[in-house]
Structure 1
Amino acid sequence: MAALLGLVLVLISLPLMWKGVELISVGGSWYYALAGLALAVSGGLIAARKKAGVWLYVAVFAATVVWAVAEAGLRFWPMVPRLGGPLFLLLPVALIAPYLGKRGKAGGWFAVAAAVVAAFAGAGVMAFRPQGVVQNDFAAVPGKPAHEPGNDSVYYGRTPSGTRHAPLDQITPANVDKLKLAFTYNTGVKAVKVQEDQNTPTIVGDTAYICTPNNEIHAFSTSTGEQRWVYKSNAEASVFARCRGVGYYERPAVQAALPLLADYVAPAVAEGEVAPEPVAGVDYKIDSCDARIVMTASDVKMHVVNAKTGELCAGFGEGGVLDLRQGMGENTFPVYTQTSMPTIARDMVIFGGMVLDNQSVNEPSGVVRALDIETGKQRWYWDAGSHGVSNDGNYINRSPNVWSTPAFDDVNGLLYLPTGNATPDFHGGHRTPELEAVASAVVALDLATGAQKWVFQTVHHDLWDYDVASQPALYDVPDGKGGTIPALIQLTKRGQIFMLNRLTGEPIAEVEERPVPAGNAKDEWYAPTQPYSVGMPSVGTEMLTEAKMWGMTMFDQLQCRIDFKRMDYTGEFTPPSENRTLIWPGYYGGFNWGSGAIDEDRGILVTVDMRIGQWVQLVTKAEDGQTFNGKDFHAGLAEQTGTPYKAAKANFESALGIPCNEPPFGNMIAVDLNKREIIWSRPMGTLQDTGPMGITMGLPIPVGMPNVGGPLTTASGLTFFVGTQDYYLRAIDTQTGEEVWKSRLPVGSQGTPVSYVSPENGKQYILFSAGGARQHGLKGDAFYAYALED
């Protein structure tokens, strides 16, 4: 046994020495090489049945403990790869020690072995408890909603304000454990290939409206799930097919009362005479669609159907369908497509589009257009600072797009756009001042005309794909004098939270311009400073170091440390270069399209973030011949035609498919909008349905995973969330962050829940889609509705 143990120790020491020397060569820690050398000697001595090998191993273990605490303190997850392996090996070393060299008393060594077992038992208990929890005192000081929320959920953020707050209180922290599945609605459509189910339902009265990944529209009862109708668009899938929601419009009563043109019957006339026109001076409706559902499909077409029947509204576009490629130039599809819910404002449908990242400097325009909801005729457009009325086909190529969802303030007549950057992402020497001025920003437009009112830029000359992905949230915050300030709260991929006066664009919470480093890429220039929201808390923005690299074992942690040291990284704005450059926070976020929720009754912003880094490398040629394959344009090698470089990029993760940064990889965080401080922060998501290399571990370890989708707050003080990588609907106490209830689901979700009270039975429901988590191959086709049991 001694020979076998000694051999194991020597074999383990070899990669530690080999990779440890490599780490030293790039300026990293000497620990691994020295520990590997000592381990090899220890193994040799133990194989020779010399007790000195045991004592040497004990010394190495003691030194490892000191080194681990010096690097990571006493935090649990950083200790796992540092001490897990050495502690495990201490057990056989202690058990064999009494039988080596001169025989002595075995009791002490057996006590060490027992202590090791106890330590692992304690670690097992710790692993199933949330780590890194932040909990601070809180006293509610509510502001004022920008829009009255009502019962319906007609917009992507429930109201035009984008706050995702339901003013409903039947379901409370005291009775949430009585929630039961009320009904399930199955669409019969599961996401395939490039499709994703990321739908947020639209609720109007007794009907829910949803869209599927292949762009069908379904209507069903909000109390029973009984299907009302289905509309099949037969849309061609783009390379990034999603349908995050549908818009709803209802004619004002005075317009709905107009006679229908199709019902006009011309009076009889004699042969050869011309029938008179419809009665002069009488207004007519073009079609019978008094209430209509609007969907932007992945093949760049808009479909408008009757909300009561699902039939196309004949007066819109060409028989109810409008080709949105008009005026966009050649080769628009599939490089340009729609992914987000269209915004219905007054009698207009407003939409932007997603432009496929990093293909060329001449990709389609990111123009935002407003169409007449009745006819589809263009009212106005906005494009990189210019705006107009007619569709003249002269939109600006490669201009910053709005692929996410705007918010609007109807009273003040302002529309707020979260913009992307000018394509491609990682080289911007070709960008014009007009493109730069509105990129990665919040842009306020006149709702009626599209005229630009103000711009607040969250990143200058964005070279990191830090486009603004979250919907702006409108909420009047306390001014400290008994009144309120009309605010816009903008989450960003950077983990920065900006609070602006939504009428002027001026910061309410202080913003500071800080110097950032410049690079040396060909034909490139660099912004000297970047904006930091110092008056609001930032989330997941701590500077990475070699010591903050992580792995499940000491081996993958060691490789992550080597990879980190080989990359360029001087902070958040390390410029891309011909060497691998670390992007942290990564271009997935921080905060992504799921956006946040604001508990309007308590003044709490609830957010969910991702903490996974990416690397990018500018390459002058495709060394391996790899090109964009249409499967994942966020990874691999992108052409960036028209710049000096292609861009190679991928997640910064180990060979096990685990992020190289320390856990948590995703948190839920609550911010007091009065004090502008974090109230609580907790890891969100477990390893129940995921794990290294895609292996399902089946362990509810709350490590905190990257999350997709948004939260929903309610007036009773509950936050509902379903976008974790494990398959649960969760209810969180909004004031404390404690999980008060959860329900197991058959598949995961990337959706955002909505809540409503059914007019048919007076019950409050929680409704959401569960079409499968992105990281797992298991897909679903269901919408689940929960209500309190009778």
Structure 2
Amino acid sequence: MIKTKRVLSALALSVGSLMCASTAWSQHGTDVSQGDWPDYNGNMAAQRYSPLDQINADNVADLEIAWRLPTGDFGDNPEYNATFTPLEVDGVLYTTIGSQRDVVAIDATSGEVLWQWESIDSQERYDNAPRKGSGRGLAIWRDGDESRLLVITPGFYLVSLDAETGTLDPEFGDNGFIDMHEGLRLGPGREDLDIGSSMPPFVMNNVVVVGPAMAVSMRPPSMANVKGDVRAYDVRTGEHLWTFHTIPRPGEFGYDTWLENSADYTGNTGVWAPMSGDPELGHVYLPVEAPTGDRYGGDRPGDNLFGTSLVAVDIETGERQWHYQIIHHDIWDWDNPAAPILADLPNGRKIVMQVTKQAFVYTFDRETGEPIWPIEELPVPAGDVPGEWYAATQPFPTKPAGFDRQGITEDDLIDYTPELRAAALEAIEPFRLGTNLYSPPSVRGAEDGTQGTLSLPSATGGANWEGAALDPETGMLYVPSRTVVAVLSVAKDENSDIDFSMALGVRVPRAMGLPIVKPPYGRITAIDMVEGEHEWMVANADTPSIIADNPALEGVDLPRTGVETRSGLLLTKTLLFAGEGVGGGPYLRAHDKQTGEIIAEIEMPGTQTGQPFTYEHNGKQYVAMVVSGQGQPSELVAYALP
């Protein structure tokens, strides 16, 4: 099933600081203050920040490719956008790679592959996996001279590898791996195991925590599905330590929020996003997703704890410390998509922040769960989908303000010319306007003749898995987001026992080939988390040719529109780095952190699709990321000064 080989790779194409005080956000024996990148988001606080400053505003424009590693020889093809982010510790990169999710160790200064572990699920297990491909990365654990890599295969095995050799750890689980299919709470009447994960496991205080993901639930085959429980294991032995039931069992806290015993059969409600944690408090923070299904919840009446909630649990016992439900009875697919970000602010507050698809930053005291600023339960509209259950209110933060557009009205429509304005108004005629952020889905072919409800943001954000970046020195949060209209339209799927699911064949309207709403279509927003106020916002990219060259815009002086993507961000001591993300162009920009001004623009071999990261080794700082597109397989590319 699983084998390891050591290789010296000819794939790597070599092209030819200052340390800050230690941080509390790592127990790996290394952290970003030492010039490493030992966690998926840099540190366990998910800040995506490094204090390195060898690359700065004065020289960032001089960056050159130091080395590049194509992924084609690991099973990837030109149509595949890799999205993994390697770790770096002591001059070695560790990452998942290739469509089968192999693991490789790479020399951080040359790109030479030091060893490769081949992960081979059984064909049936791989074929049935809902989350295939290279995944987004792995985790590392260190204790003295011991170091282990923890990774989840597409077929849903938790694997422990010796970081020095890439061999299975015989002391962990069943000779190095744990079958995560065992012990699941299955959906009644479902024989398939719709469960896996593409994110790294989370390791803290000698415990490894696994959150699961399912197939996209826009058109679920059934109201019943496997439950997305979060499970934890001893990182040395693989001993099962605890399970947190994201859908409560009878008698457990929150079971009464699932009316008509719907908790007994409803599934999903996993933690597909990365996690974060506070090793001193012993809290791991779970960004829980929505239950089955994404657009219709009539089969699960009630608020549905812990669906779309932020939950703090004890890392040793799994006991809930506090929770906050961010959406009651989620029928928008606005599940929590990113790691909660922890920070010790300059004003002394110790907070945790959850950025969301609906473009809010929910902010709490990370020990108690008390909101930093009031969160108001405000009335929201009910819909008219037969059999649906509607929450009467939803929680709206009073600070910070939303970082992207929320709800859509005629004022949001493009008006560059009278003709375009008329085309936009005509384009929205078949739809209801979701003027409230929480305007619910409607039926395709409703009695009023509409085909669905237009909504902002879409189910893919606002924010998404790229998360945000936090500057621990200033308390400034930088959030990438996108402004894309969605159609909330449901219809009966005759192949499912669920009453309604996403309607097929209903498309988002456009006006003369253009988006119907005003730009920017992708943005980066800087938010002062000490005061809860926005500082600046910039478009994430130049105006793409598909917009700039549209004949309907001839003679129109367009603002810089950005693109409909979410940038990957990296913060350093002096700079904010931003790519354009999946679907964007092949550019990396360095911004002034205080103003958003672009300091340098670097053209890359492809589009940034993995998260950018930085590290230092042998006195040289590198900025690296996976890039994709341009008709070639994805590449891991590292930049450095000449």
Matched, 1:516 2:408: no
Matched, 1:765 2:622: yes
Alpha-carbon distance, 1:771 to partner: 2.6
The structure 2 residue matched to 1:350, chosen from 169, 188, 209, is 209
Asked if residue 171 in structure 1 is aligned to residue 55 in structure 2, the reply is yes
Shift of 1:493: 0.6
Amino acid at match of 1:342: P
Structure 1 counterpart SS, 2:521: coil
User: What is the alpha-carbon distance in structure 2 between the residues aligned to residue 240 and residue 656 of structure 1?
Assistant: 37
Give the AA of the match of 1:643.
I
Question: SS at 2:160's partner residue?
Answer: strand
Q: How many Å apart are 1:315 and its aligned residue? A: 2.8
CA contact (8 A) 1:190 1:771 kept: no
Structure 1: distance between partners of 2:130 and 2:314: 33
Q: Deviations over 1:626-675 (max 9, x none)?
A: xxxxxxxxxxxxx6x33322321666242876532221111011111222
| Higher strand proportion | 2
Instruction: Provide the TM-score with structure 2 as the length reference.
Output: 0.83
> Given the alignment of the two structures, is residue 574 of structure 1 paired with residue 439 of structure 2, yes or no?
yes
User: Secondary structure of the residue that 1:162 maps to in structure 2?
Assistant: coil
Cα deviation for residue 472 of structure 1 reads: 0.4
Indicate the SS of the match to 1:565.
Answer: coil
Report if aligned partners of 1:514, 1:531 keep a CA contact under 8 Å in 2: yes
Indicate how the Cα distance of structure 1 residues 337 and 170 shifts in structure 2: closer, same or farther if over 3 A, else same. same
One-letter identity of the residue aligned with 2:435: T
Equivalence for 2:69: 185
Match of 1:209 in 2: 94
Structure 1 residues 574 and 192, CA, compared in 2 at 3 Å: closer, same or farther? farther
Tell whether the 8 Å contact from 2:71 to 2:98 is kept in structure 1 after alignment: no
- Partner residue of 2:10? none
| Counterpart Cα distance in 2 of 1:373 and 1:552 | 58
Alignment equivalent of 2:225, drawn from 350, 363, 372: 363
Matches within 5 A, 1:533-682: 533-550=397-414, 558-568=422-432, 569-578=434-443, 579=446, 580-621=452-493, 641-648=496-503, 652-654=508-510, 658-682=514-538
Shift of 1:231: 1.4
Distance 1:210 1:701 in 2: 39
Give how far 1:779 is off.
Answer: 4.3
Cα pair distance change 1:658/1:405, threshold 3 Å: farther
Question: Which has the larger displacement, 642-651 or 569-578?
Answer: 642-651
8 Å Cα contact 2:284/2:314 also seen in 1: yes
Query: SS at 2:350's partner residue?
Result: strand
**What's the offset of the Cα at 1:408?**
0.5
Equivalent residues in 2 for 1:297-446, closer than 5 Å: 297-328=153-184, 329=186, 335-356=194-215, 357-358=217-218, 359=220, 360-384=222-246, 386=248, 397-431=266-300, 436-446=304-314
1:513 CA drift (Å)? 1.6
Residue 375 (structure 1) shift = 3.1
Q: Post-superposition shift, 1:312?
A: 2.0
Instruction: Please report how far the alpha carbon of residue 239 of structure 1 lies from its aligned counterpart in structure 2 after TM superposition.
Output: 4.6
1:247 aligned to 2:139? yes
Alpha-carbon separation, structure 2, partners of 1:293 and 1:689? 43
CA contact under 8 A between 1:383 and 1:399: conserved in structure 2? no
Q: 1:532 aligns to what?
A: 396
Q: Secondary structure at the match of 2:313?
A: strand
* One-letter identity of the residue aligned with 2:172: F
How far apart, in 2, do the equivalents of 1:573 and 1:491 lie? 17
Asked whether the equivalents of residues 358 and 406 of structure 2 are also in contact (C-alpha less than 8 Å), the reply is: no
Match of 2:44 in 1: 160
Displacement of 1:620 in angstroms is: 3.0
SS in 2 for 1:746: coil
- 2:640 equivalent to 1:787: yes
- Write the distance in 2 (CA, Å) between the matches of 1:472 and 1:508: 15
2: CA distance, partners of 1:702 / 1:519? 37
Counterpart position of 1:264? none
CA separation of 1:300/1:651 partners in 2, compared to 1, >3 Å: closer, same or farther? farther
CA change 1:457–1:451 in 2 (3 A) is: same
Tell me: CA distance 1:562–1:688, structure 2 relative to 1, closer, same or farther (3 Å): closer
Paired with 2:500 and 2:277, the residues of 1 have a C-alpha distance of 39
Q: Mean Cα displacement is larger for which, 485-494 or 657-666?
A: 657-666
Alpha-carbon distance between aligned partners in 1 of 2:560 and 2:131, rounded to the nearest angstrom: 31
Residue in 2 that maps onto 1:228: 114
1:432-459 superposed Cα distances (whole Å, 9 cap, x missing partner) = 65x7121111111011111111111211
Q: Aligned residues, how many?
A: 574
1:719–1:733 Cα contact (<8 Å) kept: no
Aligned to 1:453: 321
From the superposition, tell whether residues 450 and 293 of structure 1 become closer, same or farther in structure 2 (CA, over 3 Å). Answer: same
Structure 1, residues 550-580: CA drift from partner, whole Å, max 9, x if none?
4998777645423423322232111212141
- Structure 2 residues not aligned, in runs of 5+: 1-22, 251-262, 447-451, 551-557
Give SS of 2:61's match.
helix
For residue 425 of structure 2, give the secondary structure of its aligned residue in structure 1: helix
TM-score after normalising by structure 1:
0.68
Q: Distance in 1 between matches of 2:344 and 2:70?
A: 39
Aligned residue identity for 1:612: V
SS of residue paired to 1:353? coil
Asked if structure 1 preserves the Cα contact closer than 8 Å seen for 2:522 and 2:566, the reply is no
CA distance in 2, matches of 1:768, 1:507: 35
Q: Classify the secondary structure of the residue corresponding to 1:463.
A: coil
- Give the unaligned 5+ runs of structure 1: 1-143, 257-289, 389-393, 623-638, 695-699
Give the secondary structure class of the aligned counterpart of 2:457: coil
State the identity %: 27
Paired letter, 1:453 = Q
Alpha carbons 2:540, 2:580 under 8 Å: kept: no
Aligned residue in 2 for 1:281: none
Distance 1:654 1:190 in 2: 37
- Partners in 2 of 1:708 and 1:542 — Cα distance? 16
3-state DSSP of counterpart to 1:561:
helix
Match for residue 6 of structure 2?
none
Instruction: Tell whether the 8 Å contact from 2:87 to 2:94 is kept in structure 1 after alignment.
Output: yes
Q: CA RMSD in A?
A: 3.0
Alpha-carbon contact 1:218-1:229 (below 8 Å) kept: yes
Compare 324-333 and 741-750 and name the one that shifted more: 324-333
Contact 1:418 1:442 in 2 (8 A): yes
Q: Assess if the C-alpha contact under 8 Å between 1:722 and 1:751 holds in 2.
A: no
Change (3 A) 1:348 1:573: same
- TM-fit CA distance, 1:602: 2.1
Alignment deviations for residues 292-339 of structure 1 (CA, whole Å, 9 cap, x no partner): 212112222223222111222233333323321112248676632201
Check 1:764–1:621 CA distance in 2 against 1; reply closer, same or farther (3 A cut).
Answer: closer
Residues of 1 paired with 2:559 and 2:379: CA distance? Answer: 40
**What is the CA–CA distance in structure 2 between the aligned matches of 1:421 and 1:347, rounded to whole Å?**
29
